[in-house]
Structure 1
Amino acid sequence: MRLIHLVLLLGLLLCPLASKAVVCSMSGVQNISFGNVNPLSSTDTNTSMTFNYSCTKELADVLAGVTICFNIGASANSGQVIPRRMAYAGPPAGTLDYQLYQNASYTTVWGSQYQSGTTVPAIQLNLLNLTPVTGSVTVYAKVPARQTTVVPGSYQDTYTAATASMTMNVGLLAPPTTCGTTQGPTFPFNVLATVTKFCNVTTASNITFGNAAFTDTNLSASNTIGVACTSNTPYTIGLVPSNNSTTGSGVMKTNTGNASNSDQVPYQLRSAAGTSGAPWGNSTGSNTVAGTGNGQTITYNAYATVPSANYTPDTYADTVTINVTY
């Protein structure tokens, strides 16, 4: 009889599923929002989302622990964990790369136990009594810098109950070391970003006439201006001398601190070479230069002419402001 009782007891230990009842819940799950993203920036855009979990065993349960795993699967747009992408319907349509991470140093991608080659956060919980065991998990997210071909718009990626879920693996003596297949709660969410229109003056050199004799006339010189704007973004470039002329007609003054020299050397900014080149000012639709961004630097030549150098010998200069409107 003792042998029979021992075998029956062993049978119960090997078939504990009837007594393994653990209930987990999640709260605080929100959308992951990057807010405004400048795709021309040299700095990554980072954000995070923290949610809570709670697990407890039921009355008369004998299990000692549970391992819970948080799975975030493939992007709805890329169909993969690496890379993940948000999408904008347009027009024109576009995508924006991003990634979800398990750590604040953005080195471990957050994956799913159902996606080979990826890892998931696994948390081991000791369930010693009926008191709920609680905690929190943070999803770290990053949009990599310099995605220069991305068009402005509202971008989104979606994770459903099928791609964002908890699994549980219970143990009698201690929490298991692996993820289980028992389905826990799901935590669907969206990933959102707004790619904003943006322009940046990337390069601007001085216009230098060099040395001139007092008999010289119709002096001409030029420089280059580099402007980068987000793809599909119309813009205009205006030039404003320090006297705020909207027609690009400025004056150079002594640059040596010579208080006795009150001469002012007039000059004209132009968008084409020569004294007959079109004036370049700051009146949109009249004398500005227009373009459409492609995410890369577009270079423009700016010209200036001086009718005469017949002024007090000195070094003359003026400051021109570049206005990019988009």
Structure 2
Amino acid sequence: MRNWLVCFIWLVGSALLPGTAWGQSCSFSVPSMVFAGSTIPGSAINSMTSVTANCSGLLSLGQKVLICPNLNEGSGGATASARIMVNGANSLNYQLYQDAARSIVWGSATWPYAARPPGFLVAFTTILGPLLGSGSTTITLYGQVLANQATAPAGTYSSTFTGASATFNYRYDDGNGCTTALGATASPPAFTVQITLANDCAVTAQNIDFGPNGLLNANIDQTGQVRVTCTPTVPYSVSLSLGNTGTSPTARKMVNGAQSITYGLYQDSNRTVPWGNTILTNTVARTGDGTVQGINVYGRVPPQATPSPGTYSDTIIVTVTY
């Protein structure tokens, strides 16, 4: 009886010696990350997904498994500053991060860049006395399409992570973290990072101020501008409404109470081509290239009876049709 008991304790004790890692097994899942939005405003676009590890092990006795999820370039490739999604010959820069602030890049112990993967632990809950344990942990993978990429044409951009692009190392936690790629290796099923860019436009406008004037006995000219940014190759037209009480492009009204001043808005500096809101008749047509396109608006107050002193104003709605 005594010899049998000593033998049993020795077997269990040997399974707990430092460095012993037999019996553990982990599987992983990463849902695809899909971005939604437009690059035309010039701002970054954020998204996220999750990384889940499911582990089990024999003779685990409360040990924890360290997961080192190495994510490399993906099929789109990468530079030192960004990963890349592609759509044919076109590309879009994005990055994967460990934190919600998008400040710590999620990298790999096996790629040529400095960023390394985060390490996270899976704690076992024993399900058969001290012999068999299992556990699961999920952490968030953050993504960002980088800002200032308005020149990207419309289309679906993607990068796929599979095989060598996503190799997850795991081992019983030894306190050494993910500075090395030691341990067993498994890969999650292939997942994709993707965004579909649709044709899009953005517009801003500059006010036109005709300034202080005593008498309206001669032309008063001033110039403003609308600034349009549209997806490359997208044709668009810019319409200017007739204002609050206008009757035509050259008979808009700035008002102050019951009194008004007539003015017009034009497409040319000679003030001969009116700018209105009938497409293909008196609107301005351009083609987007992903940059800000400034289009001058030429205003004129023609000679007319001078109303009472005061501030006269009108509101014009700028519409971009594409």
State the TM-score, normalized to the length of structure 2: 0.80
Q: How does 1:1-326 map to 2 (within 5 A)?
A: 20-27=22-29, 29-42=30-43, 44-58=44-58, 64-80=63-79, 82-89=81-88, 93-116=89-112, 117-125=114-122, 127=124, 129=130, 130-170=132-172, 177-178=177-178, 179-208=181-210, 210-211=212-213, 213-214=215-216, 216-243=217-244, 247-255=248-256, 257=257, 262-275=258-271, 277-315=272-310, 316-326=312-322
Preserved CA contact (<8 Å) 2:210 2:220: no
Distance of 1:192 and 1:115 partners within structure 2 = 22
Distance in 2 separating the partners of 1:269 and 1:126? 71
SS at match of 2:147: coil
In the alignment, which residue of structure 1 is the partner of 2:3? Answer: none
Task: Return closer, same or farther for 1:118/1:217 CA change in 2, 3 Å cut-off.
Answer: closer
Q: Which residue of 2 aligns with 1:3?
A: none
Instruction: Give percent identity, aligned residues only.
Output: 28
How far residue 210 of structure 1 moved from its aligned partner, in angstroms, is: 4.2
Q: What is the SS of the residue equivalent to 1:162?
A: helix
CA distances 1:131-152 after superposition (whole Å, capped 9, x unpaired) = 2121112101112222232222
Q: Distance in 1 between matches of 2:313 and 2:302?
A: 15
- 3-state SS in 2 of match to 1:36: coil
Kept in 2: contact 1:20–1:170 (CA 8 A):
no
| Residue identity matched to 1:235 | Y
Paired residues, number: 300
Q: How far is the alpha carbon of 1:176 from its aligned partner?
A: 5.7
CA contact (8 A) 2:239 2:320 kept: yes
| Long gaps (5+) in structure 1 | 1-8
Asked whether the 8 Å contact 2:232–2:290 carries over to 1, the reply is yes
Q: What is the Cα-based RMSD across aligned positions, in Å?
A: 3.1
| AA in 2 matched with 1:122 | G
Distance 1:156 1:96, change over 3 A: same
- In structure 2, runs of 5+ residues without a counterpart are 1-10
Q: Which deviations, in whole Å up to 9, do the C-alpha atoms of 1:242-292 show, x marking residues without a partner? A: 24768523332442x4xxxx45433322111235x1111111111111112
Contact 1:237 1:325 survives alignment (8 Å) = yes
For residue 34 of structure 1, report the CA deviation from its aligned partner.
1.0
Please give the TM-score of this superposition, normalised by the length of structure 1.
0.79
Contact 1:267 1:304 (8 Å CA) reproduced:
yes
CA distance in 2, matches of 1:224, 1:80: 38
C-alpha contact 2:21 2:171 (8 A) present in aligned 1:
no
Shift of 1:109: 0.8
Q: CA deviation at 1:63?
A: 10
